[in-house]
Amino acid sequence: MARRKISGKADLVRGTLDMLILKTLSLEPLHGLGVSKRIDQISGGVFTVKPGSLFPALHRLEQEGWVRGTWGESENKRRAKFYELTPDGRRRLGEERASWGQAVRAITKVLEAT
């Protein structure tokens, strides 16, 4: 389904959602809504992660063993599933960052070529 891009918002670069989630969770354990809010907030409102992408990604990461979900209580006393980074997840984040950095450097080089 084609969605018109709202000005000031960018589509997530393909394949980077996992990395963003892992990075967000590396700061502190969060529940689903927390993750999407944090990404929105850190990116200055540029990236919005819809639940339709967020939950599939979270569950996938959990199955891969990179994050671990535990049921806890939210700030307003609601039961919620909190996700935290596992050691495997931390390693994975490192890998993703490295390859992302490589890609960015390469793209920059191409763009700056005269």
Footprint on this chain of another protein (rule: CB under 8 A) = 31-33, 50-53, 55-57, 59-60, 63-65, 74, 76, 78-81
Contact 30, 72 (CB under 8 A): no
Toward another protein, which CB reaches closer, 18 or 93?
A: 18
Nearest approach, Cβ of residue 65 and another protein (Å): 6
Distance CA 111, CA 114 (A): 8
Nearest approach, Cβ of residue 91 and another protein (Å): 11
The single-letter DSSP state of residue 49 is -
Toward another protein, which CB reaches closer, 59 or 105?
A: 59
Sequence letter at residue 51: P
